[in-house]
Amino acid sequence: MQLQIECNTSKHGSQVCCVCSHRFALGQAKVILCDDQGAAYGEVCSACLHNGFDWIKQEFEYSNLLHKTAYNQYRSRKRDVPLSA
Ligand SMILES: [Zn+2]
């Protein structure tokens, strides 16, 4: 996981933060959260940046984990339905 700084060429004035899901105003530069292969997840707001990279990483991995857990629970619930029902 890494952060990339890019010039903001977008005409849109605001963007949704990929970490905290809050809408924030874009400045002249934008910070993008990427995986280790360089694939972008999305923009990061200044409030999240203020918390530091370790915090962003932790928050992002935690929310990813929650999605995966919810998905696995859904899968296991489906599998647990008795065939006789
Ligand atoms: Zn944020």
What are the structural domain ranges in the chain?
Answer: 2-80
Cα 13 to averaged position of ligand 1 atoms, centre (Å): 16
**49 conformational bin, left if phi > 0, alpha if psi -120 to 50, beta if neither:** alpha
| Beta carbons within 8 Å of 13's beta carbon, 6+ residues apart | 25, 26
Q: What kind and span of H or E run contains 69?
A: helix 53-80
- Say what the pTM is: 0.71
Give residue 66 CA to ligand 1 midpoint distance, Å: 17
Q: Which amino acid is at 72?
A: N
Instruction: With CA atoms as reference, report the closest residue to 16 among 44, 36, 40, 55.
Output: 44
> Mean per-residue pLDDT for 2-29?
88
Give the mean pLDDT of 65-83. 71
